[in-house]
Amino acid sequence: MKPSWRRHVTFRSRRFENRTPQPHFINPNCFGEDLAGWLREGMDATFTPGDVIQEDYGWGFWANAGGEPYWIYVGVMDESVGEEVAEWMVGVAYDPGLSLVKRLFGKPNPSQLLAICRGIDARLRNTPESIERIEWWHEPHQGTPTAHPE
């Protein structure tokens, strides 16, 4: 059963680099390093964020909430690479790691997952001069978005 609130957000911004691939990128469209760092810096003190890590689709970092690991990932939407104002996506996922027991029986704490999403929402909305069209989704660009994660 899917939660009633959303855990993926898209928005438009010119604030984050989406034009010049860096030599350390896994692939030429691996943008989002600055966005992931900016989100990490703005995490609520109740969540312990890890280092920003590169993935083939973008960047992300782990956030520990109540002893449970959550993966916060970011990336630029392919069609907006190189555009003056790019569309970005951020998602939050519960990931119990290699523990078979947690993988089979573990579930995210809904209040912690929602709190992380609310923190991301607040960070985006507290920067109105450079971030616009914030939309929350159950799955990226599927269904009808809402203005906030709940």
| Tens digit of each residue's pLDDT (9 = 90 or more) over 13-42 | 999 999 999 999 999 999 999 999 999 998
pTM of the entire predicted model: 0.89
Question: What's the confidence (pLDDT) of residue 119?
Answer: 92
Question: What's the confidence (pLDDT) of residue 106?
Answer: 67
Q: State yes or no: pLDDT of 2 exceeds 60.
A: no
Q: Which residues of 91-105 are buried (b: 16+ CB within 10 A; e: fewer)?
A: bbebebeeeeeeeee
CA distances from 88 to 11, 83, 93, 135, 139 (A): 5, 12, 17, 11, 14
Question: What's the confidence (pLDDT) of residue 67?
Answer: 82
Question: What's the confidence (pLDDT) of residue 18?
Answer: 96
Q: What is the distance of C-alpha 134 from the center of its chain?
A: 12
Q: State yes or no: pLDDT of 1 exceeds 50.
A: no
What are the tens digits of pLDDT across the range 117-136?
999 999 999 987 899 999 99
**What Rg value do the Cα atoms of the chain yield, rounded?**
15
Contact between 22 and 103 under an 8 Å Cβ cutoff? The reply is no
What are the tens digits of pLDDT across the range 72-117?
999 999 999 999 999 999 999 887 766 666 666 667 778 888 999 9
> Domain residue spans in the chain?
8-137
Question: What's the confidence (pLDDT) of residue 55?
Answer: 94
| Residue 68 DSSP SS3 | strand
* Angstrom distance (rounded) from CA 36 to CA 43: 11
* Angstrom distance (rounded) from CA 115 to CA 44: 9
Q: State yes or no: pLDDT of 4 exceeds 90.
A: no
- Closest Cα partner for 36 from 49, 21, 20, 22? 49
* DSSP secondary structure code for residue 146 in this structure: B
- Closest Cα partner for 99 from 68, 71, 53? 68
Question: What's the confidence (pLDDT) of residue 3?
Answer: 52
